[in-house]
Structure 1
Amino acid sequence: MPPAPTLPRAVRPDGRLRLVIFDCDGVLVDSEGPSCRVVAQELRRIGLHYDDDAAVHRFAGRALTLIKTEAEAETGRALPDDWVAMVQDRLVELMRAEARAIDGAHGMLTAVVGLDLPVRVGSNSSIAEMDVKFARTGLDRFVADRIHSARDMGCPKPDPGVYLHAAETEGVAPDECLVLEDSDTGALAARAAGMACVLLRPLHLPAPEWPGLYRIAHLSEFAPLLEAILAEQGGNTP
């Protein structure tokens, strides 16, 4: 019989939680719907008939480079070399005007910082896009200079590279990190990085299951969960 998987140290009573890493879209910034509608518009231009609701289901959490590859396979023709950059520019301008914080994001980040836990962001969005999102929503005061882009690194999730880079930059081990995600793609990236993960998703919706994966339905539940983990570990002391 194979041995049971070992929980990451971030959530073990005998371990230590040393870093919280947030996804951006759908976790801190309410941008998945507007962004996916822009992608749907651009795909309709090349003959792929995604309506806006179908696009949200299909593309939420996915990198533009992967969407481009799938669209080319589906249509049988190459998209322009600058397609990703063009869509990215549209998204930056859209978020400059429409980005909104997820309900409870400001209070949650205030509470997490109050637990003396360092925070970072790892996202499939570009740095340029995250900059305008966080500036418009006022979340930049929590995450300024602590954001990492899987897109800009060339390793979009579910590749774990952006999360491993965030941990390395902070100087902590991957299994001492906990990631807050909303998509299966992002949760798989966290798992591949060897990190614990909390999935923000209504509890009636399906989700993957593995050791070290938690579920919450609202951001107000996140800081109390971290506080409980820290209490089991004897507090957040060196």
Structure 2
Amino acid sequence: MQAVSDDTRACLEKDNAMTVAPAHATDIPAAIREDGSLKLVIFDCDGVLVDGEHLSTAKMAEEARHHGWDLSNEEAHKIFTGGELVKIGERIGRETGKEMPADWDMMMQDRIVKMMETEAETIDGAHEMLQSVHDLGLPIRIGSNSSGAEMEAKFSSTGLDELLEEERIHSGRDLDMPKPRPDLYLHAAELEGVGPEHCIVLEDSDTGAEAARRAGMACVLLRDLDKPAPSWPGLLRIGHLSEFPQILRQILDAQTSDRPIAA
């Protein structure tokens, strides 16, 4: 596990362990500072808990080709990942010169929900990771651009609904708070009754990480460490979900330790 940027001091490699940001690193959110407190964990859905993004973007690529845009599934995944259906429909219309149906986003949403009812799969280690976070005693909320109906299909078909409470699942689409706007994450923190600086977000996309940054929250980016990523204070990186509970445990241990805070 490694930091995106050494100068953030949010996460340093030291004998394969994380060093929590010291007290004087005031540009780091309090959630991961040793003199701060971590009070809420917020998860994205696609790419973090459920491997549904490739399925969704492949369906959109199919639709783009139907309207005359010669777009491969791989290209569609790069272009559409993390995007809003309305804006994706507008992009297909611009590229093809065709007027998309007014209800295209709703039509695509229905198709995606039906697909997720049978084809959704979890990200490797998702069940174990969520259970470990529960065991740490940290409250959990979900903040995703997916609709509530889509997340319900994904979580029920994968069994993740046994570890997640419906009232703690928040949809950027349904609430009209799409990322990269910070509103969805700020909404989740407000409902929990905690300040954004005391939250940590687990994301896989630049769009989601940007939403966390704008919200003033710490963020852990789940992404292969050999792939490029943004860089800002408070952004950490992991390559596998199994690393996330370890990070949280180290943060909590540092924040509850009786040892003197570093000057």
Do the two structures share a fold, i.e. TM-score over 0.5?
Answer: yes
Superposed counterparts of 1:133-152, under 5 Å? 133-145=154-166, 146-152=168-174
Is the CA contact 2:67–2:98 (under 8 Å) kept in the aligned structure 1? no
CA-CA distance at 1:128 after TM superposition = 0.2
TM-score w.r.t. length of structure 2? 0.86
How far apart in 1 are the matches of 2:86 and 2:183? 16
Superposed counterparts of 1:12-51, under 5 Å? 12-51=33-72
Select 1:129's aligned residue among 147, 150, 156. Answer: 150
Select 2:195's aligned residue among 158, 164, 173. Answer: 173
- Counterpart of 2:206, as a letter, is D
How far apart in 2 are the matches of 1:12 and 1:68? 42
Is the CA contact 1:5–1:211 (under 8 Å) kept in the aligned structure 2? no
CA-CA distance at 1:29 after TM superposition = 0.3
Structure 2 unmatched runs, 5+ = 1-24, 258-263
Determine the structure 2 residue equivalent to 1:232: 254
Distance 1:55 1:16, change over 3 A: same
TM-score w.r.t. length of structure 1? 0.94
Select 1:106's aligned residue among 127, 130, 138. Answer: 127
State the secondary structure of the residue aligned to 2:256: coil
Identity between Structure 1 and Structure 2 (%): 56
How far apart in 1 are the matches of 2:238 and 2:248? 12
Is the CA contact 2:172–2:184 (under 8 Å) kept in the aligned structure 1? yes
CA-CA distance at 1:169 after TM superposition = 0.8
Q: How many pairs are equivalent?
A: 232
Matched, 1:116 2:125: no
Determine the structure 2 residue equivalent to 1:153: 175
CA deviation map 1:25-77 (0-9, x unaligned): 00000111111110111111111111111111211121212212222333334
Matched, 1:93 2:114: yes
- Counterpart of 2:230, as a letter, is P
How far apart in 1 are the matches of 2:96 and 2:62? 15
Question: Considering only CA atoms, is the larger Rg found in Structure 1 or Structure 2?
Answer: 2
Select 1:183's aligned residue among 202, 205, 217. Answer: 205
Determine the structure 1 residue equivalent to 2:80: 59
CA deviation map 1:66-109 (0-9, x unaligned): 21222233333431111000000000000001011110000000
Matched, 1:78 2:87: no
CA deviation map 1:207-237 (0-9, x unaligned): 00000000000000000000011111117xx
How far apart in 2 are the matches of 1:144 and 1:43? 35
How far apart in 1 are the matches of 2:228 and 2:41? 24
Is the CA contact 1:43–1:49 (under 8 Å) kept in the aligned structure 2? yes
How far apart in 2 are the matches of 1:121 and 1:50? 31
State the secondary structure of the residue aligned to 1:229: helix
How far apart in 2 are the matches of 1:221 and 1:65? 35
CA-CA distance at 1:5 after TM superposition = 6.5
How far apart in 2 are the matches of 1:70 and 1:190? 25
- Counterpart of 1:50, as a letter, is L
Superposed counterparts of 1:209-224, under 5 Å? 209-224=231-246
How far apart in 2 are the matches of 1:150 and 1:90? 19
